[in-house]
Amino acid sequence: MKLSISIRLAIGLFALVAAARAERWHVQYLYDEAKSDLTINDLAFPTPQRGVAVGYIDDRQRQRSRGAAVVTSDGGANWSVVPLPDTGLSVFFLNDSIGWVVTPKGIYRTEEGGRSWKKIPKSPKGTLRVFFHDSQHGYAAGLNKSVSETTDGGKSWKPLPAVTEVKSDPEYTAFTSISFAGPVGYITGFNQPPRRDDSHVPDWMEPEKAAVRKEWPSTSILIGTVNAGKTWGVTSSSLFGHISRVRMSPDGRGLGLIEFRYNAVFPSEVIAINLKTGHSESVYADKKRAVTDVALVRSGPAYLAASEVTGRLRAPIPSALHILKSDDMKLWKEMEVDYRANARKSVLAAVDAQNVWVATDTGMILKLVP
């Protein structure tokens, strides 16, 4: 009888260990064309089958770059490269057919799941991100303190009136994230004028100066609505670093990502937001992990995508990709990631608990598999 119980316990323990080890990040796509590199800037999966990654291909032989998208219609089993008119900065999809890509030349729309694109005339300049409630009503946010709204599918755009409440120099103000969960929405940005000793030379080229240069506060700006954009409110506060991403889930949870440029204690910090109460708290910061994106699964876990930090400064070369998972946004566990995966920056896309992807700026796309 004791032996039987021991065997049962051993089997149960083995099953638990196997289950814990089962989830891993598997490479679905790897760009490996000779003498060229693919940089992925953003990734969207409107459905478990349809996915679109956007960025650019750097042709080293011809010494030029061209915009590119990588698309799948079968959940990532097969991917194909599709040309873009210019570098893809970000992408947003309404469903498996209709989507928008933001480029330095303007905003383009697709009705074929990303396989062809048509430019939206007179789209706002300097746009970094877009969000659409439906095929007609959407927002564009970006540089020069710009937030615009369209109600006719992009044929015309009007400045969001709430932006006039933002008291900052447009030259140093940018809005970088748009997120909605039902009627609750946030457009986030920051204002950070350069300081006297700020250099246009990358930190890694001046490591001695960068190592002692301290992070200085910026003004964090949040434009929020609780009624799907009928009315907006504006708040601002002094903040070290800047908010680069906000993700929200219809179940009332939110995650915000703060990234730091200079010699801060941590390269990044993740903030949990209770959308019902407005309460927020720091839930993750690690000196050795530079988080570059966050994701939430409705009524499910949260994920962080990070690169490895080996010194006081972020290296100009890719480092090992790390993915962390939490069921309560308090305890974070590192997951098994394909050893080939590396990145300077990576982005997440989550449809549900069974369909989560990450794309890297080194031309890789991985999926979480059992």
Per residue, the 3-state secondary structure of 332-345, as one string, reads: CEECEECCCCEECC
pLDDT of residue 240: 81
Residues 6+ apart with CB under 8 A from 2: none
Q: Helix or strand or coil: residue 80?
A: strand
pLDDT, mean of each 10-residue run, the chain (370 residues): 50 46 90 95 97 96 92 96 96 97 97 94 95 97 97 96 93 95 94 67 44 64 94 89 92 93 82 90 95 95 94 73 96 97 97 96 96
pLDDT of residue 192: 82
Helix residue ranges, H only, 23-134? none
pLDDT of residue 142: 97
52, 364 Cβ separation under 8 angstroms: no
Altogether, the residues listed in the chain come to a count of 370
pLDDT of residue 269: 96
Residues 6+ apart with CB under 8 A from 196: none
Residue 255, phi then psi, degrees to nearest 5: -130, 135
CA distance 245 to 243: 6
